[in-house]
Amino acid sequence: MFISLSGTSLKNSLTKTLFFGHEPTPELLGILVVYFVQGILGLARLAVSFFLKDELGLSPAEVSALFGIVALPWIVKPLFGFISDGLPILGYRRRPYLILSGILGALSWAGLATIVQTSTAATLALALGSLSVAIGDVIVDSLVVERARAESQGEVGSLQSLCWGTSAFGGLITAYFSGLLLEHFSTRTIFWITASFPLIVSGVAWLIAESPITEKPDLSTVKHQFEQLRKAITQKAIWLPAAFVFIWQATPTADAAFFFFTTNELGFEPEFLGRVRLVTSIASLVGVWVFHRFLKNVSFRVIFGWSTLLSAVLGMSMLLLVTHTNRALGIDDHWFSIGDSLILTVMGQIAYMPVLVLAARLCPPGVEATLFALLMSISNLGGLLSYQLGALLMHLMGITQTNFSNLWILVVIANVSTLLPLPFLGWLPATDATQPSEPAMDTDTNPNKLGQSLLPLMSELVPHSVLQQTAEEPAE
């Protein structure tokens, strides 16, 4: 009896600690594995950046523009949801699409490892990899949204935190090795290694609980879903917060220029950049924990407002590195970069967690997954614009592989522009993250038939306007 009680107590303790109180069912474990794979795909992030810079000879502006194009699959994520809802494969709406996403991902990395020789081919291969992650994300995020809406007031935000934390943990596992391996292997060898990871997603697809669909696809269901979606997005309670998040995300980023600056000007080696990635991965986990532990009951407006102000101020510290003032102060470039990256990553993660909670809370019953994917697509569109504006500024300022004389101006513009959303804080709900912000809708739709296969981005397009990836490479 004592052993039985102790075992039950241990299980409950582990469930509360590791899974934030959620029962670790096979389906939940499958969902978390997908997010974990998104994290470990970071093994190739540095390899991609060095491949574009050194082997293909692209400029900072070209790299930034390329990453903007690669983000396109995240913009049309709701389309993937409609396809999976309306076109089941062999009677299933989820499992086959997870298997497909894994196969596409493996093909994209295998292509980078073998046949890619031009910037156009690299763009296509990376876009295919992005499409792979987006499809898998669409499937598992619908499950997350459905589970999140069933959370009690005390658990709100815990599932999003768990998923983000799992992805961050995956990034943590591979962070340091992303740089270390580049010291010993070619970029193409690392691409071969990475090609095996998406196949894990295909393998765990069978853990998703799903019954086969016997009836033929009903296009009227998709049509009805479009109508419900139209009703939802025409409500100010939904489109005003979405517009705020878009503006918040769309400010220009200097990520690509900083990667070139830290490698070409400061001489940072891949191994050190791997260390920076390790630090920022740990910082991401800290940010998730801080939000879950202390800030999930704080008003959306307060979190966005203060995190934006603090990030803009702290982001200006990069001027010390760009102008080499840190050296005059006796601070080594390496230590300064690590410290700055740590602080800004924690701030960025804390700022982005409310985006996920807000998006989930805005979704009315019946179109949860579809609307959630649409809201996150709007956020991702802002991220794409952020890259393109950054590329334009780099081009206009003459920032190249070797010329960084105007980089300090780009730093100032990128950080000051993050303050632009502040006048629109009133567009956000006045409630905190634990209070549902559900717009009233007259709906009799069956949530088991509509929008079951959608969801938002998680790993690569984090808020660039808040989280400047200082000494790191540009996010894919």
**Domain assignment present for 469:** no
Greater confidence (344 vs 70) lies with 70
Q: What is the CATH number of the domain that holds 26?
A: 1.20.1250.20
The answer on 145 and 283 residing in a single domain is no
User: Residue 443's pLDDT is what?
Assistant: 30
| 473 part of a folded domain | no
Looking at the predicted structure, is the pLDDT value of residue 334 above 90? yes
Are 200 and 147 in the same domain?
A: yes
The mean pLDDT value for 242-253 works out to 92
Residue 462 scores a pLDDT above 50 = no
Q: Are the C-beta atoms of residues 145 and 439 closer than 8 Å to each other?
A: no
Domain boundary among 184, 210, 236: 210
Structure-model confidence comparison of residues 18 and 386, the more confident one: 386
**Claim to verify: residue 181 and residue 229 sit in the same structural domain:** no
Which residue reads 């998040």 in tokens? Answer: 245
Alpha-carbon gap, residue 373 to 149, rounded angstroms: 15
In the predicted model, is pLDDT for residue 39 greater than 50? yes
Q: How far apart are CA 466 and CA 345, in angstroms?
A: 9
Residue 316 lies in a domain: yes
Q: Is 367 within the bounds of a domain?
A: yes
pLDDT at 474: 33
Tell me which of 210, 227, 257 is where a domain ends.
210
Q: How large is the average pLDDT for residues 54-79?
A: 91
pLDDT at 64 over 70: yes
475: pLDDT confidence band, cut at 50, 70 and 90? Answer: very low
Give the pLDDT of residue 386. 93
Banded model confidence at residue 10, pLDDT cuts 50, 70, 90? low
Residue 231 and residue 176 share a domain? no
Query: Which residue type, as a one-letter code, is found at position 203?
Result: G
Rg from Cα positions in the chain: 22
Which tokens belong to 90? 């062999």
**Beta-bridge partner residues of 89:** 92
Q: Which of 158, 190, 185, 127 is nearest to 23 (CA)?
A: 158
Q: Is residue 301 part of a domain?
A: yes
Predicted pLDDT at 368: 64
pLDDT at residue 379 in the model: 87
Lowest mean pLDDT among 170-174, 233-237, 472-476: 472-476
Co-location of 321 and 182 in the same domain: no
Q: At residue 453, does pLDDT exceed 50?
A: no
Mean pLDDT of 288-309: 84
Residue 133 lies in a domain: yes
pLDDT of 458: 27
The answer on 399 and 250 residing in a single domain is yes
pLDDT value of position 153: 47
Q: Is residue 344 part of a domain?
A: yes
Q: What is the mean pLDDT of residues 216-237?
A: 74
Do 351 and 401 sit in the same domain of this protein?
Answer: yes
The reply to whether 197 and 230 lie within a common domain is: no
Q: Which residues contact 295 (CB under 8 A, 6 or more apart)?
A: 303, 350, 353
> Residue 287 pLDDT > 90, yes or no?
no
Are 147 and 187 in a shared domain?
Answer: yes
Q: Tell me, what amino acid is at 140? A: V
pLDDT above 60: residue 451: no
Average pLDDT over residues 86-96: 81
Which of the given ranges, 10-14, 145-149, 151-155, 294-298, has the highest pLDDT on average? 294-298
Q: Say whether pLDDT at 470 is over 80.
A: no
Q: Among residues 152, 175, 210, which one ends one of the domains?
A: 210
Token pair listed for 100: 């497909």
330 in the same domain as 223: yes
Q: Is the pLDDT of residue 381 over 70?
A: yes
* Residue of 321 and 357 predicted with greater confidence: 321
Total domain count for the chain? 2
pTM for this structure?
0.80
Check: CB of residue 401 under 8 Å from CB of residue 59: yes
pLDDT confidence of 21, banded at 50, 70, 90?
low
Residue 474 lies inside a defined structural domain of this protein: no
Q: Do 203 and 313 belong to one domain?
A: no
**pLDDT given at position 281:** 79
Confidence of residue 290 (pLDDT cuts 50, 70, 90): confident
Domain span at residue 308? 218-430
Higher pLDDT, 475 or 368: 368
| Percent residues over pLDDT 90 in the chain | 40
For residues 87 and 67, membership in a common domain is answered with: yes
